[in-house]
Amino acid sequence: MREMVNKRNGWSGYPGIMVFGCSLGATHAANLYFRRPDLFDRLLALSGIYTAEYGFGSYMDDVVYQNSPIHYLGGMPLTHPYIPLYNRKKAIICAGQGAWELPKSTRELEGILRSKGIDAWVDYWGYDCSHEWYWWFKQTAYFVLFLLKND
């Protein structure tokens, strides 16, 4: 992807790659980012569910575990080499608290990130913020500027 971006834009170097998604797309984006911080530089996850328990209940095997950020991040040792890598990148995870939103797993993920010393901006929008494209459009417009800014 980086090679294509460089070629099409006449660039050289190492352009970053952002993963982004809403709802189930947020779940997939977060899973990609947390599993492969060597490939992805930014994360914007809106209204995701970050545990495989939502679809699999109490069933767990290696494949389910490796695709359930709450589980594999929760089990990650504090000395894991990915932790400093996450902290050199930018991640924003947001959940609304209104109709059809399920912020419980976002809160659980936030607690795990804090306990591991992983810096991420976890934000909760109000009780009027429902699981709808209208809100994701507003959130994207708000958050993407922070992700694109070089600090």
Tens of pLDDT, residues 137-148: 999 999 999 999
The domain 22-148: what is its CATH number?
3.40.50.1820
Choice between 92 and 1, residue whose per-residue pLDDT is larger:
92
pLDDT in tens, 6-60: 889 888 887 789 999 999 999 999 999 999 999 999 999 999 999 998 889 999 9
pTM score, whole prediction: 0.92
Percent composition of the chain: helix, strand, coil (DSSP 3-state, to 5): 45, 15, 40
17 DSSP 8-state letter: -
For the chain, give the mean pLDDT: 95
Buried b (16+ CB within 10 A) or exposed e, 35-49: bebeebbbbbbbbbb
Q: How confident is the model at residue 76 (pLDDT cuts 50, 70, 90)?
A: very high
- Answer yes or no: is pLDDT of 99 > 80: yes
Over residues 77-97, mean pLDDT: 97
Sequence length of the chain is: 151
Q: Which residue has the tokens 């070089």?
A: 150
Residue 16: the pLDDT is 85
Task: Give the largest CA-CA distance in the chain.
Answer: 50
Spell out the domain ranges in the chain. 22-148
d(CA 110, CA 119): 10
Is the pLDDT confidence value at 135 over 90? yes
Which has the closest alpha carbon to 19: 31, 2, 7?
31
Cα 94 to Cα 73: distance, rounded to the nearest angstrom: 18
- The predicted structure's pLDDT at residue 151: 66
Spatial contact of 134 and 141, defined as CB atoms under 8 Å apart: no
